[in-house]
Homo-oligomer: A and B are copies of this chain.
Amino acid sequence: MIRDFPEPSSDKAEQEGPGALAPAFDANGLVTAVVTDAADGELLMVAHMNAEALALTIDTGIAHYYSRSRRKIWKKGETSGNLQTVHDIRTDCDQDAIWLKVSVAGHDATCHTGRRSCFYRIVEKQGDEGVLRIADDHRHFDPAQVYKPDGTK
């Protein structure tokens, strides 16, 4: 069981090399997590992890995040059943981002709106404004049926 991570190295070459995972947590103790589908590479979501969430993810092979709004560990899919099994974990050059390749159980949906991916909208330019067009409106589940009426998840 992973209990802690070493401090990031102040030696840039060391931080960028092989060796111990030494995540560069930000001032709030978080790294960014990017989540793609292990089967086809689709970008599903972006979230955050604290040390505990990252350790739990590595230890259990099930994705855990840190919910900034609820200020607690968030085992993704615990309510909806859409648990994420982790196939591969990577980190980037300065170790402040984590990439999970996952397969999604349940409805095969990651977004709380019921869509497969949280990135269901395309940004387009109209005159001097950015406008959002919905590119995917297929709901794999009905959020009202899956989450509590108060919107908690």
Q: Which residues of A contact B (CB under 8 A)?
A: 1-3, 5, 12, 16-21, 32, 34, 36, 40-43, 45-46, 54, 58-59, 88-93, 96-99, 111-113, 118-123, 125, 128-135, 151
Contact B91 A18 (CB under 8 A): no
**Nearest-CB distance from A70 to chain B (Å)?**
14
Contact A32 B20 (CB under 8 A): no
Q: How many copies does the complex hold?
A: 2
Contact B92 A16 (CB under 8 A): no
Contact B2 A130 (CB under 8 A): yes
A61 to chain B: closest residue by CB: B125
Please, how many angstroms separate the alpha-carbon atoms of A99 and B122 in the complex? Answer: 9
A-B pairs with beta carbons under 8 Å apart, 14 shown? A5-B130, A17-B132, A18-B134, A21-B129, A41-B42, A43-B99, A58-B130, A89-B123, A90-B123, A91-B119, A92-B119, A93-B112, A93-B113, A99-B119
